[in-house]
Structure 1
Amino acid sequence: MAPTVESAVGPGSAAELLLQRLELVGAQGEARLCSLEAAAALGLDHQVLVGAVKSLQSLGEVIEAEQCTSKKWELTPEGKEIVQEGSHEVRVFNSIPSEGLVQSELMKLPSGKVGFSKAMSNKWIQLDKTAEGGPRVFRAVETVQDSVREKLLQVEQGGGDKLEEKDKNELKKRKLLAEVTIKTYWISKGNAFSTTVTKQETDLTPEMIASGSWKDLKFKAYNFEALGIMPESGHLHPLLKVRSQFRQIFLEMGFTEMPTNNFIESSFWNFDALFQPQQHPARDQHDTFFLKDPAEAIDFPMDYLKRVKRVHSQGGYGSQGYRYEWKLEEARKNLLRTHTTSASARMLYQLAQQEKFTPAKYFSIDRVFRNETLDATHLAEFHQIEGVVADYGLTLGDLMGVLKEFFTKMGITQLRFKPAYNPYTEPSMEVFSYHQGLKKWVEVGNSGVFRPEMLLPMGLPDGVTVIAWGLSLERPTMIRLLCLIRNFSSKSQSRSKINLIVHLTSSLI
């Protein structure tokens, strides 16, 4: 029975068994030992013995080992199966009775497809296509010889080198035989040879120094040519880099980040609180992902909900409202939020509940979900950037000033504003920037002043104005525009690189 050993250096280890074997063959007059022969003699796996050789080499001059390579033919798993059960063509031949076998039934056999083809090539079988019941296979000879199995058996028994080259190539082509490279060692005694191995110390400890025991210990030599371990490192995704830049800009401008960890939102906070009517097309399932479980929200600030219902269905605060029958069941529907403005609504409502109003500036950068038709520039999930400022007496000029400061920090200085419509802002503006590469103005964001119908039901004091703006983090026009502006500002950038960015930008806008 083969001894159970470890490849590590130590008493009873593969390394020590190897040293004892080397001492034995040396006494018999042999100067060196083959690792394959040693592994067989010791009953060890060759790889275990190779590990022991490498362990001994690390100890210094205990042994000398010369690596050499050789090639040999080995059976593949399919080849080993054929040695046990016969070749596919012989198995097909043996499965055909004297009255023949329907071809469709023969093909269902495990060796049917390969065996039928090879047996036909060998002219062992014949096919009658006119037979009753469909094509039928018959034996064409009485007996056959399984030469494939015989050749594979010869390889398994160590006679692969005696096979003709054409036979090897044919078996290799059928993936029954494979040529493998074997790395072995010729092992001989070193200058510091010993049949016993003492484990060498790898660390000099304070205790060794204090006691003086280090003087009697043998330390493992340092390998100064060994490569050091590469430190683990990672890189931020490009979107996360841009996200970090936006966050830094907001923080520099004195904004506070809003909590946006609730991807699931009720229709009330996502639509109704923003004075968006319940019959608005954006609520349709073509644009919104509604939840099945839980399908509805149950916890609402009821006084606020009643004021929202009144301003929708009857009007108020100087507005005539939408004049429709507002339904609670519609407001309770849960969905994946379509914008982060729902988080802004929650923050503004909390701000309105303070005993004394204090001006505030909020921002958020997080994921939103919309049932979009997927293409090169649209996904069902993307990141929205939003900024909100609440204070007394804010005007459209304040909004334009804040936007100019915000975009200037990103390197965008040429801005234009175009009137637009949003359900919960009035007035509303789309923001455009001049694209130096395309020589035209492109949209980079949307903005506006929140409507009184949205703010006053929350309880915010009369005279408080809230300005807001938003853009998409992934928006290709924005990212490409930033890259283009930065490249133009660098004198070291080549014209070809700028032209490439212009081309990429124009294909995505």
Structure 2
Amino acid sequence: LTLHFCSVIKTFRVFRDEKFTTSLVKEETDLTVDLLTDNLWKEKKFKPYNFNAFGVVPVRGYLHPLMKVRTEFRQIFLEMGFTEMPTQRYVESSFWNFDALFQPQQHPARDEQDTFFISKPMCTKNLPSEYVKRVEKVHSVGDYGSSGYGYEWKIEEAEKNVLRTHTTASSIRMLYEIAKKPFKPVRYFSIDRVFRNESLDATHLAEFHQVEGLIAGENLSLGHLMGILQEFYKRLGIEKLRFKPAYNPYTEPSMEIFSYHTSLKKWVEIGNSGMFRPEVLLPLGLAENVTVIAWGLSLERQVCS
């Protein structure tokens, strides 16, 4: 057994040595150009370096806010059972971008004031001929219970190349491929760039990202669309939604989607939606009981808001 005894110090003496001073001297931490140029370093006192201390973490690359939100959107779609569509076609023919979506050739959106037309190559010639004939008929004289638009449809207009104005051009291509096989319900989504000939301001861009989702199934209704929208936006943290009737050339009925903005204290538009018209689906060769519900929104708008 070892016993330790601690002595208590009650008094102590303080002596001045050569380092005693009545003023504090700031120690330098960096050897600057000025200190070297003027030889001031000889008069300065430098703080000893601690080589065991961690240095400043170097600045590295960061994920762009758009790409960060894009990843979140993509993950939500995948969790809801959607498959990502190929969307690598930035240049589309007017046929897939407009005509196949029952958008008339006189529509204002097809003017140069709203669309970027490609000068070289100016036209596309490899369009599916039988499908083109069915689209031409439903535009000019009508078909499938529709009276059409009653105008002279021109293949020359349909062949013009454009920078796609929406990713729905990719959606109609996917539906065209689906129609070639025995039908199975599908869920698709895409997030990619689109281009509009817009005057740039705080709310308009000439190039932005469109988020689009579509579901093809049998006898889907507007109720299914509203339900899937409620679930989709709920996963984004948006629960207060309103729907307002709207017009789109290729969907009927169509709805604008509004959400209540707590900071602005008002309802703001956050998307568009609808059910694809028979004039779009039936020329593809899909059965009459096959319906397609879809919606789209701007990625940039969600990031900014």
TM-score, with structure 1 as normaliser: 0.50
- Is 1:430 matched up with 2:286? no
Summarize deviations over 1:222-278 as a string: whole Å, max 9, x none.
Answer: x94586695673211111111111111111100001111111010000000000000
Structure 1 residues 414 and 228, CA, compared in 2 at 3 Å: closer, same or farther? closer
Is 1:181 aligned with 2:37? yes
Matched, 1:404 2:210: no
- For residue 452 of structure 1, what is the amino acid of its counterpart? P
Q: Which residue of 2 aligns with 1:62?
A: none
Distance 1:243 1:328, change over 3 A: same
Q: Return the alpha-carbon distance in structure 2 between the equivalents of residues 413 and 229 of structure 1.
A: 42
**Identity level (%):** 67
Is the aligned partner of 1:338 residue 2:161?
no
Which residue of 2 is the match for residue 245 of structure 1?
A: 72
Please give the secondary structure, in 2, of the residue aligned with 1:305.
helix
Q: What amino acid maps onto 1:443 in structure 2?
A: E
Question: Within the alignment, does 1:273 sit opposite 2:104 as a pair?
Answer: no
Paired position in structure 2 for 1:414: 240
> Kindly tell me: are residues 325 and 236 of structure 1, through their superposed partners in 2, closer, same or farther at Cα, counting changes over 3 Å?
same
Structure 2 counterpart of 1:306, which letter? K
Supply the distance in 2 between the matched residues of 1:259 and 1:182 (Cα, whole angstroms).
65
Match of 1:385 in 2: 211
RMSD: 2.4
Within 1, Cα distance between the matches of 2:276 and 2:228? Answer: 15
Q: How do 1:32-181 residues align onto structure 2 when only pairs under 5 Å count?
A: 181=37
CA contact 2:124–2:160 (8 Å) conserved in 1:
yes
Q: Give the counterpart letter for 2:65 in structure 1.
A: P
- Mark the runs of 5 or more structure 2 residues left unpaired by the alignment: 1-30, 43-49
CA shift digits 1:140-199 (9 cap, x unpaired): xxxxxxxxxxxxxxxxxxxxxxxxxxxxxxxxxxxxxxxx9377x99xxxxxxxxxxxxx
Equivalence for 1:442 = 268
TM-score by length of 2: 0.82
User: Matches of 2:78 and 2:274 in 1, distance apart?
Assistant: 21
Q: Which amino acid aligns with 1:377?
A: T
- SS of residue matched to 2:300: coil
CA distance in 1, matches of 2:53, 2:291: 67
Partner SS for 1:474 = helix
Q: State yes or no: 1:264 paired with 2:120.
A: no
Counterpart Cα distance in 1 of 2:191 and 2:57: 34
Distance 2:200 2:270 in 1: 21
Measure how far apart 1:440 and its partner are: 2.0
Partner of 2:180: 353
Q: Deviations over 1:36-87 (max 9, x none)?
A: xxxxxxxxxxxxxxxxxxxxxxxxxxxxxxx9x999xxxxxxxxxxxxxxxx
Is the CA contact 2:250–2:276 (under 8 Å) kept in the aligned structure 1? yes
Q: Distance in 2 between matches of 1:381 and 1:264?
A: 13
By how many angstroms is 1:322 displaced? 0.7
User: 2: distance between equivalents of 1:339 and 1:391?
Assistant: 22
Q: Unaligned regions of 5+ residues in structure 1, if any?
A: 1-66, 72-179, 187-222, 482-509
2:60 corresponds to which residue?
A: 233
2: CA distance between counterparts of 1:424 and 1:398? 18
